[in-house]
């Protein structure tokens, strides 16, 4: 994102307009007192909210899993249209729905954060398998444990945390997804672990498949990730970045696959055709289903249909 460009700081609270710095939520709101509710952060690239419908769908899923009423999609879309009016630069759009029913939509400049290049593992006992806990994977307002993990990792000399389940499986970052390349295959933590169903990760998987790069989701320990050829992280408001260190173990950094996928992701977000050998890509058919792959310290859970479904959105998202 181009952070030097000016972004108007706007908010809408239950449909009422406010300057962002003056927007307030009642102190007795359940979202404030208990962290009860759900939220979405959406990257805005050249004024375009990327995969807005997917974020709205995930927000509904989070609220439903928490046994809260679904949001009013028409009201949220109207709020988004108002706060983004006239914005043609990069920004961060956020949607909040609290347990008290309060609806908040904000837009601001992209966040200024330390890039998560050096990661320190932290236990994440709140990340539980989907088949054991109905709230697993919900993007709730209760992000205290995630932020505590970030602070613990920074106190240990890292930039951010790499969350690891109680069973020892690599899960995600506190505010980002992680994936890695080994022997030409893109690996991602399985959604069944209870990780957030990252739209950024879905996008990277789809782009890999578009490039005929095999994709596999599964369960791997930290040592397997440290042995990868490239380790990559991204979020809705971050580019795809190469990690250079995990728990003091130096990693190779950016490689050819990560570099290509980072460029592809940026172009897709901005509505630009992907490049093929230096030229704008022609329209292509979905390709590259996920394949089975066995990794030391890991269990694969290939899911080709999900990846193929996402590939179709690579082309749809440019319209």
| 238-287 pLDDT tens trace | 999 999 999 999 999 999 999 999 999 999 999 987 766 443 333 232 23
Asked if domains 10-108 and 118-316 share a fold, the reply is no
- In CATH terms, the fold of domain 118-316 is D-amino Acid Aminotransferase; Chain A, domain 2 (3.20.10)
What does the pLDDT look like over 149-208, one tens digit per residue?
A: 999 999 999 999 999 999 999 999 999 999 999 999 999 999 999 999 999 999 999 999
The two beta strands, 10-13 and 37-45, are unpaired
Query: Average pLDDT of 97-111?
Result: 96
Find all residues with CB under 8 Å of 171, minimum gap 6, and list them. Answer: 124, 127, 163, 164, 165, 189, 193, 194, 195
pLDDT band at 296 (very low <50, low <70, confident <90, very high): very low
Strands (E), the chain: 10-13, 16-19, 37-45, 48-49, 91-98, 103-108, 118-123, 160-164, 170-172, 177-182, 185-189, 215-220, 230-235, 238-242, 245-246, 249-250, 275-276, 279-280, 298-300
Q: What is the mean pLDDT of residues 40-46?
A: 97
pLDDT over threshold 80, residue 308: no
Specify the pLDDT at position 309. 55
**CATH number of this structure's domain 10-108, picked from the four choices 3.40.50.2000, 3.30.470.10, 3.40.50.2300, 3.40.830.10:** 3.30.470.10
SS3 161: strand
Q: Which residues pair with 118 in a beta bridge?
A: 245
Question: How far is the C-alpha of 184 from the C-alpha of 203, rounded, in Å?
Answer: 18
Q: In the predicted model, what is the mean pLDDT of the chain? A: 88
Instruction: Count Cα neighbours of 215 within 13 Å in the Cβ-side half-sphere.
Output: 29
pLDDT digits (tens, 9 = 90+) for 120-163: 999 999 999 999 988 899 999 999 999 999 999 999 999 999 99
Pairing mode, strands 16-19 and 48-49 = unpaired
- Where are the chain's structural domains? 10-108, 118-316
Cβ-contact 176, 243 below 8 angstroms: no
């Amino acid at each position: 994102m181009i952070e030097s460009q000016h972004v108007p700081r706007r908010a809408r609270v239950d449909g009422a307009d406010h300057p962002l710095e003056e927007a307030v939520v009642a102190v007795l709101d359940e979202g404030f007192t208990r962290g009860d509710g759900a939220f979405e952060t959406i990257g805005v690239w050249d004024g375009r909210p990327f995969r807005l419908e997917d974020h709205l769908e995930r927000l509904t899923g989070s609220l439903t899993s928490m046994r809260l009423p679904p949001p009013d999609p028409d009201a949220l879309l109207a709020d988004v249209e108002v706060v983004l009016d006239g914005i043609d630069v990069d920004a961060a759009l956020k949607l909040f729905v609290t347990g008290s029913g309060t609806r908040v939509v904000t837009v601001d400049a992209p966040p200024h954060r330390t890039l998560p290049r050096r990661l320190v593992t932290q236990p994440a006992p709140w990340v539980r398998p989907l088949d054991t806990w109905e709230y697993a994977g919900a993007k709730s307002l209760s992000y205290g444990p995630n932020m505590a993990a970030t602070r613990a990792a920074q106190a240990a000399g890292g930039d951010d945390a790499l969350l690891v389940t109680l069973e020892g499986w690599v899960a995600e970052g506190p505010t980002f997804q992680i994936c890695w390349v080994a022997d030409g295959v893109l690996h991602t933590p399985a959604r069944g672990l209870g990780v957030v169903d990252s739209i950024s990760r879905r996008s990277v998987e789809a782009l890999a498949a578009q490039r005929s790069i095999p994709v596999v989701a599964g369960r791997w320990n930290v040592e397997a990730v440290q042995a990868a050829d490239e380790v990559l992280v991204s979020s809705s408001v971050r580019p795809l970045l190469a990690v250079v260190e995990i728990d003091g173990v130096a990693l190779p950094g950016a490689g050819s696959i990560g570099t290509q996928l980072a460029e592809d992701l940026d172009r897709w977000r901005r509505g630009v055709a992907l490049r093929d050998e230096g030229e704008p890509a022609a329209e292509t058919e979905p390709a590259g289903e996920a394949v089975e792959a066995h990794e030391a310290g890991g269990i694969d859970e290939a899911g080709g249909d999900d990846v193929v479904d996402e590939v179709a959105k690579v082309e749809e998202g440019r319209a």
